[in-house]
Amino acid sequence: MNRKILGFAATVALAAIAVVPASAHRQWMLPSSTVLSGDDVWVTVDAAVSNDLFYFEHQPLRLDAVKAWAPDGTETAIENKATGRYRSTFDVHLTQKGTWRIASVSDGLMGSYDLGGKTERLPRGTTTANLAERLPAGATNVKTAESNNRNEIFVTVGEPTTTLFKPTGKGIELAPVTHPNDLIAGETASFQFLLDGKPAAGLSVTVIPGGIRYRNQLGEINLKTDSQGKVEVNWTEAGMYWLNVTTPQTERAEGATGEPPLQRRASYATTLEVLAP
Amino acid sequence: MQLSYSALLIGGSAGLATALATPAIAAAPGVMDVTISIPRLKVAEYHKPYIAFWVEKPGASAKTVAVWYDHDMKANEGTKWLRDVRQWWRASGRSLTFPANGITGATRAPGTHKISFTRAQLGALAPGQYTLLIEASREVGGREVLRIPFTWPGKAGAGGRAVGTTELGTVSVSFR
């Protein structure tokens, strides 16, 4: 009996790990500045996966998928990459005036198939593009659900621009009602979130101020996007904030057994700097 | 007013100032004089502050009238810290290019300084209520913003003051 329960718990735990990559910890990128002036401008970014914000104390963020885009949309290399035990770091040379994007985007396919009377899980790294080659011959009852994760930050040299906010139409994306590099304590900012290019109602938005290590309460703000995909955030204090958006997930009924139903998942994370007035 | 404005076009700002100082013309004052004191601070590492002066009016874009910064560093490196004058940077600075002719100049040492702005420098103000903002930001130091509301055109003579507590001393405005 005991063994059976344990076995079941282990299966559920394994399923959770496979389905929700890295959701137990917080992924973040922290730029040295978000509002910049000058003629030869650089930004250094720390990138990590951790519990407390913004302390690198658990895992470095892998830089394989990190890219930068100049205000005119051209892709730019990140430089001086290094990955340490707890933190990655890199630089971006901001050679154009305007708003830059630095992002790590990953798209995947979760799911399962039947083969030889057994249900198998799709291997990690499966995407819409490589699904066909990853499926073994004879696989039947193929079930898939897309997952899109976007972790991005914005930095601005001179005047904020919005050319970069043209949506790709995949996963959760930010449409700036208030520009993310124009945030001031004492003001209210409005952001719109798109899912697959369309304003998405009912997304969960969590905003957490940095500096968690030195306070007892998390102090998070929990919001839901309205019918137009919008949320309003009232910035009471200056500082660095982590903002996370996820698609709502249906909770399983207590005592439910078997495979959890496949659900389309998307997540979004960004780091916002709120300046003192 | 029309007459004195013509004088500016013909004779330059010195001509305008002279013309306006002459009671016979009886035009409204056309020059704002700003007297600013920069406090001497006893700190281990002192750098002269960056100071920006700008004019705001609700519903209109802000107009920078003067910026004192490290304007003569090689490769224009002094511009890197302009964003630390952050209220000004947001209101107006970020849309400018540096150096800006007739606007930017060198940082000033502690003491009292006078700077004058003509109507043209102030952005050819339409009559109304405005605010002059003065923001100082010091390397390895603090930041302070002062606001002096004023009416344009002002009455000749004293036209408002504000007193700083940390990075700025007294700033006063008068018109002539």
Residue of B nearest to A33 (CA): B83
- Compare A22 and A209 and report the one with higher pLDDT: A209
Q: How far apart are CA B38 and CA B136, in angstroms?
A: 9
Domain spans in chain B, listed from the N-terminal domain onward: 30-175
**Which fold is adopted by the domain B30-175?**
Immunoglobulin-like (2.60.40)
Burial A60-95 (b: 16+ CB within 10 A, else e): bbebeebbbbbbeeeebebeeeebeeebbbbbbbbe
Determine the distance in angstroms separating the CA of B133 from the nearest CA of chain A, rounded to an integer. Answer: 13
Q: Which residues contact A140 (CB under 8 A, 6 or more apart)?
A: A113, A114, A115
- pLDDT tier at A45, thresholds 50, 70, 90: very high
Q: Cβ of B61 under 8 Å from any chain A Cβ?
A: no
What does the pLDDT read at residue A250? 75
Query: Are B95 and A158 inside 8 Å of each other by CB?
Result: yes
Is the pLDDT confidence value at A85 over 60?
yes
Q: Establish, for the pair of chains A and B, how many residue pairs have beta carbons separated by less than 8 Å.
A: 39
Q: Taking a C-beta distance cutoff of 8 angstroms, is the pair B155, B29 a contact?
A: yes
β-partners of residue A46 are A30, A89
- pLDDT tier at A9, thresholds 50, 70, 90: very low
Give SS3 for B32. strand
What does the pLDDT read at residue B20? 45
- pLDDT tier at B11, thresholds 50, 70, 90: very low
The beta strands (E) that lie in B39-125 are given as: 50-56, 63-68, 104-105, 111-118
Determine the distance in angstroms separating the CA of B138 from the nearest CA of chain A, rounded to an integer. Answer: 16
Could you give the ipTM of this predicted complex? 0.84
Query: Are B77 and A159 inside 8 Å of each other by CB?
Result: no
Instruction: Specify the residue for token string 């006078």.
Output: B114
**% helix / strand / coil in chain B, to the nearest 5?**
25, 35, 40
Hey, what are A138's tokens? 């004879």
Q: Which residues of B touch A184 (CB under 8 A)?
A: 90
Q: Which residues contact B28 (CB under 8 A, 6 or more apart)?
A: B1, B153, B154
What does the pLDDT read at residue B8? 36
Question: How many whole angstroms from its chain centre is CA B34?
Answer: 7
A38, A182, A275 ranked by CB distance to B79: nearest? A38
Domain spans in chain A, listed from the N-terminal domain onward: 25-108+148-274
Q: Which residues of B touch A273 (CB under 8 A)?
A: none
Is residue A24 left, alpha or beta, with left meaning phi > 0 and alpha meaning psi from -120 to 50? alpha
What does the pLDDT read at residue B21? 46
Determine the distance in angstroms separating the CA of B116 from the nearest CA of chain A, rounded to an integer. Answer: 27
Mean pLDDT of A56-81: 96
Is residue B167 left, alpha or beta, with left meaning phi > 0 and alpha meaning psi from -120 to 50? alpha
Among the listed residues A46, A24, A18, the one whose alpha carbon sits nearest the alpha carbon of residue A33? A46
B81-131 pLDDT, tens per residue? Answer: 999 999 999 999 999 999 999 999 999 999 999 999 999 999 888 999 999
Distances from the Cα of B59 to the Cαs of B56, B62, B130, in angstroms?
9, 9, 11
A37, A160, A184 ranked by CB distance to B83: nearest? A37
- Compare B12 and B105 and report the one with higher pLDDT: B105
Query: Are B94 and A277 inside 8 Å of each other by CB?
Result: no
Q: Which residues of A touch B90 (CB under 8 A)?
A: 35, 182, 184, 275
**Which fold is adopted by the domain A25-108+148-274?**
Immunoglobulin-like (2.60.40)
Mean pLDDT lowest among A43-47, A143-147, B111-115: A143-147
The beta strands (E) that lie in A95-158 are given as: 98-115, 118-121, 140-157
Q: Which residues contact A154 (CB under 8 A, 6 or more apart)?
A: A34, A99, A100, A101, A102, A164, A180, A181, A270
Q: Cβ of A35 under 8 Å from any chain B Cβ?
A: yes
What does the pLDDT read at residue B88? 98
Residue A54, preceding peptide bond in cis (omega within 30° of 0): yes
| Mean pLDDT, rounded, of chain A | 90
Hey, what are A140's tokens? 């039947």
What does the pLDDT read at residue A184? 97
- pLDDT tier at A259, thresholds 50, 70, 90: low
Q: Cβ of A184 under 8 Å from any chain B Cβ?
A: yes
Q: Cβ of A187 under 8 Å from any chain B Cβ?
A: no
Q: How far apart are CA B164 and CA B36, in angstroms?
A: 10
What does the pLDDT read at residue B3? 39
Q: Cβ of A275 under 8 Å from any chain B Cβ?
A: yes
- pLDDT tier at A24, thresholds 50, 70, 90: low
Q: How far apart are CA B166 and CA B176, in angstroms?
A: 30
What does the pLDDT read at residue A166? 95
Is the pLDDT confidence value at B5 over 80?
no
Question: How many whole angstroms from its chain centre is CA A199?
Answer: 17
Q: Cβ of B136 under 8 Å from any chain A Cβ?
A: no
B76, B81, B86 ranked by CB distance to A39: nearest? B76
A37, A158, A277 ranked by CB distance to B80: nearest? A37
The beta strands (E) that lie in B20-62 are given as: 31-38, 50-56
Determine the distance in angstroms separating the CA of B78 from the nearest CA of chain A, rounded to an integer. Answer: 8
Mean pLDDT of B142-163: 94
Give SS3 for A98. strand
Mean pLDDT of B37-62: 96
Mean pLDDT lowest among A138-147, A183-192, A259-268: A259-268
Q: How far apart are CA A157 and CA A154, in angstroms?
A: 10
Is the pLDDT confidence value at A203 over 90?
yes
Is the pLDDT confidence value at A4 over 80?
no
